[in-house]
Structure 1
């Protein structure tokens, strides 16, 4: 089974093993923190040479997740590009690939702290997306309910290995980073543990999503 189904704020959703979230009733696929163009940004700003394959790998995994559920709406929860110039740094092949994925469906770029401005590649750019009973935004807000956010790149450890994970409680979902070159914040970090209720659950990515009490 390569997905984990659960109910959030009265809404049935599915967490895919890839790290994407699917809302079947809306045919909506949500991913967070793609950080496209990270290796290009490192080279541009720091002269650091990383293998320039992360955009290709991220788009391939995104395409596979989309093929799994065939969404009509795709929501990218911010930090989709590693900085404001990273979109311009995409080579023609990656730009065409992304354009092909966007074709024929509603595509929404939520602004993040890395990419606060609109992109020229297409789609809609929004500060946040309210779609009751859920609201999609980049960074969690205290006191929010029905919130789906990203930003923190949560990770948890099982059998000695830390894996990206989704965490959720009755009020909020925090998504894992979908991008290939992304680090992560352990769930016991105060930035996450102070946001989540004591009963919060972590669902680890991998061949089979694994639910567990959120490690603190």
Structure 2
């Protein structure tokens, strides 16, 4: 939850004392202590000095999430589902994992006929650069954009909701994309075609047990 400014967090992360920060920014040690412990909000000029010193954005100093933090939640949500971690909002986490897989299939990053869920490799899952390279489109979403530009009192579940909105919008866009491309002389299937193949593949492996519960048998 980001309800407080991050001065103390940034200072401790960078191993900077209150005295050193005061000297570097022209503030008093007492002023920094007041910002950290009494909830006082610095003015615009001071916020810019603090942001420049720590090499972060002003919204981040005020408590907004960084893009890296948002991508970490996306990555960890996928990991949680792939490891079947028990979470109170597991359905939302499953939706993230499922949509990530579909988007990767639509973009040709993974094959449509992999006989499993959580299709990404361990190397890809744990590489934050993979998420940055292939999922930066989430920051075009209004809901996610607010998380990185406004100091909101947002929980991890709020971030998961925003991520699901962004992923669903991208998937809808890909589902409508019926264009095909050519890779040299070889025809490359469109996102729409790949998604249909994945759905057909899943449908072929859906079974219903004696209690009426559906399950996949690959």
User: What TM-score does the superposition give when structure 1 sets the normalisation length?
Assistant: 0.23
Q: Identify the structure with the greater helix proportion.
A: 2
TM-score by length of 2: 0.23
Which structure has the greater CA radius of gyration?
Answer: 2
Q: More strand by proportion, 1 or 2? A: 1
